[in-house]
Structure 1
C-alpha cells in the first residue's frame, strides 16, 4: 500500500484541539506523521493538494440504515452512504436484531469498505421494510434475554440498542415496549437510542388516546445517562417540541441528567423546529444522516412497496441529503464549525464507545480521514415541509481515506447544491 501525503489542508480535530494548516502522512493503515511540512518525510508518497479543503477525522454517521436487501427497500448500500459519500464509519440504527445480527456481520459489516457498526434493534424483526408492519413491533415481539445475549456476544459490532417512542406505538401498546428496550440497554450496559416523532399511523380502531406531549416525559424517566434522544428537529409531534410550539419542559432536565441528543436528520427534519430548539439553548451532541430507501433516490428492489404507510416519512421530491449536507444545514442554522465537526467525530466516537480510537487524528492511529470542499457563495437549502433558507457556506465531500485506502466521493445519491 503506497504512502499518501495530504498536503496543506485545514486540519480540524476537536479531540486534539487542532485547527491549523497541516500535512498528514499516511503509511499503510496508520497515520505516520502530522506536521507543518512533511515533504522531507514523504519521499515516494502520493501527494494530494488539500489547500482550501477541510481535513477531518473520518466522519462517523450515527444514524444509517444499511441492512441492504434484508430490510427490503429500506436498507441502502453501506458504501453508497459511507466511503463513496466521504464517510468512513456508519452506525446502522436497528436494521439487525438478535436473530439477524450474524447475517448483518457476514453480508454487510465484513464485506463493506466502510466501517459498519450496529445499534441492535430491540425488536425481533429488526428494521424490516422500515418498520412497515406495526404489529410486528408489539411487546410480544421483543425478547430482552435474547437481545442482551446477542449484544454481549458481539461487542465489536453491537454498540447500542435502538427503540421507538412515538404516537402510533403508544396508541397500541403504551409504554410497554419502551420498558423492555430500557431493560435491554441496562442489562447489556449499552446506550439506548430512542426515536421520537411519529413513525406509524394511529390504529384505525381499538387504539388508546395519546397526548403527544406526554410521550417525552414518560420515556425519559425510564432512561439512564448516556442514552440518546433522537430527532430533536423533527416536524412531527410527540418529541422535543410540544403542540403549543414550545420546547418540552423536560428537555433541559434530561440533558442535565446525562442523556444525549442526536439530530437524526432524515426527511422529517424541519428548519423551523431546529431554530426553535436551538434558540432555547439545546445543542445536539451528534449528527446522523438517517438516509434510507424511502427518502433517498436509489432504485428500489423489485417487489418492495412503492411508499411507506406514513407518507410524511417518504421522499417527497423536495430534498436530498447526506451526512455532509446535513453538516451544511447545521452551519446554516448558526452552529460553529468546530461543534459541527465534533458532532461527526469525537462526540460520535463517544456514542459508540470508541473515543480515542475513532473520531481523532493521531500519529500511530487508524488512517480514517475525510476531506471536504468548503465553498463560499449563496445556496438554497430546503426541508421536506418546504421551508427554505439561504446559506453562504457549502460543504461537499471530496474523498476519504478509510484504513489507509482512498475513496472518491462519487455516490450518485449525493445532493447537488442549488444556487440561490
Structure 2
C-alpha cells in the first residue's frame, strides 16, 4: 500500500519553535490524520486539503497549563469551563490543580476529562473534599480530612489522568494543625510515586486565635525536607506571606539547594503573582521551570454561581466577594509577563512545552512537534508595541511584546481563541 502524501491541513510560513526537536525558524507544518506529518522548510499548498497562512505568527507545540481550576460547579465559584481555559484560550492541555479528590475523581473523569475538547489531566487533592472554596471552609482541610491509603489507591488506579498530588503549605493551615497535613500529602506522593505540587503563600486566613506561634517565614524551610526529586514548589512570586521572599525582603536561603537536588518551581501566576517580588526572586537566580496560569472564577470574571450555603454574610454577594476587582490572567499573558521580566522567548516556550511534559512524565506524548506525534499545536500572535500589564497589588509594568492566542489544533482539530475570559490588551 502506498503511503498518502497529501495533508489534511498545512500551517504555512510561521516561526516554528519546538525545543524538543531543536527547531526554531520559519517552517511549514503538515497535519494528517490528527498527527504531525511533516515539518519542513517548504511544503506545496497544493499538497494539502486546507492551507492556513500563519506568517508572522509563532507555531508552538500545544501549550500545557500546569495550574488550572476546571472542575466546574463541584469546586464552587473557582471552577471554570475547561475548554474556556483550554482550547478556546489557545491551550491544548490543562492540569487541574487539586480540584478532584479520591472521592470526586470519578465525576471529574466523566463530566470534565471525557467531555472536554481540551486534553485534561489533574493533580489529585490530598484532601477528601478536594478543591472546595477553602477560604470559606478551612476546617475541611485538617488532618482528619486526609485519607492517605484511599488517595494512594485512587492515584495509582487512575494513572492516565492523575499525574501528581496537590498540597498546601500555608500559614492558615499551619496555624491550625502544624505541619501534619503536609507530611501526609508528601507520604501520598511518595507511595504513589508521582510529584507533589505544593502551594506556598497564605490562602485560608488565620484562626481567631492568630498564628498560634507559627511564623509564615519558617514554612518553606520546614516543608522542603519532606519533598523528593521532581516535586514542585508553586507560587514563587506570591504577594502573600509564606512565599519565597521573607518579611525582610530576602530570598529564602534554602531554595537554591532545593532546586539543586531536583525540586522544580512552577509560577502559578494568577491572583498570587507579584511583579515586584518576581523581580527580586529572578534577580537572585530563582528561575521557574514551568508556567501555570492559575485561572479560576475569581480572576477571570465575577462568578455567576451563587455563594454556597454557610458562606460568611459579607462574602455572600458577588459584588462583595473577596477577590473582586482582580486583574485577569491567561497562560499567554503569563508568558508575556515572563518575557517582560527578562526571560527569553525560547526559555518561556520551554516553560509551557518540554518542561511541563517532563513534570507530568509525558515527554513521549506532549510538548513536541515531532513527526508522528498527536497534532497538538498552539498558534500565537506576537504583537509589538507598548502594553500595560498589572498584578493584584496594582503594580504595573510595560510590555513591549504581547503574546496572544490565535488558534490551536487539538489532535488536528482547529479551535479559535475566542474564550470570553481572555484578558484584553491595554495600550500604554
Q: Check if 1:32 corresponds to 2:37.
A: yes
Say which of 94, 109, 116 aligns to 2:98. Answer: 94
Report the CA distance between 1:130 and its aligned residue. Answer: 4.8
- Equivalent positions of 1:5-154 (< 5 A) are 5-39=10-44, 43-130=47-134, 132-154=136-158
Cα RMSD of the aligned pairs, angstroms, is 1.9
The offset of 1:318, in angstroms, is: 4.8
Query: Displacement, 1:100?
Result: 0.5
Would you say the 8 A contact 1:294–1:307 is kept in 2? no
Contact 1:165/1:178, CA 8 A, preserved across alignment? yes
Contact conserved, 1:71 with 1:130, CA < 8 A, in 2?
Answer: no
State the partner residue of 1:237: 241
- Partners of 2:259 and 2:316 in 1: how far apart? 32
Q: In structure 1, the residue corresponding to 2:133 is in which secondary structure?
A: helix
8 Å CA contact retained: 1:295, 1:313: no
Q: Which runs of 5+ in 2 are unaligned?
A: 1-5
Deviation at 1:283, TM superposition (A): 0.4
TM-score (norm. length: structure 1): 0.96
Give, in whole Å, the separation in 1 of the partners of 2:137 and 2:326.
26
Q: CA deviation at 1:302?
A: 3.1
For residue 373 of structure 1, the aligned residue among 368, 375, 381 is: 381
Q: Residue 6 of structure 1 contacts residue 48 of structure 1 at CA under 8 Å; is this kept in 2? A: yes
Instruction: Note if contact 2:134-2:204 (Cα within 8 Å) is conserved in structure 1.
Output: no
> CA separation in 2, counterparts of 1:272 and 1:419?
21
Given candidates 338, 341, 356, the residue that maps to 1:333 is 341
Give the aligned partner of residue 407 of structure 1.
415
Deviation at 1:192, TM superposition (A): 0.1
CA distance in 2, matches of 1:44, 1:324: 29
In the other structure, the counterpart of 1:192 is 196
In the alignment, structure 1 residue 355 sits paired with structure 2 residue 358: no
**Structure 1 residue ranges without an equivalent (≥5):** none
Q: Offset at 1:45?
A: 2.0
Alpha carbons of structure 1 residues 299 and 208: separation in structure 2 relative to 1, 3 Å: closer
On the 8 A contact 1:298/1:413 being kept in 2, the answer is no
Partner of 2:426: 418
Q: TM-score, normalization: structure 2?
A: 0.94
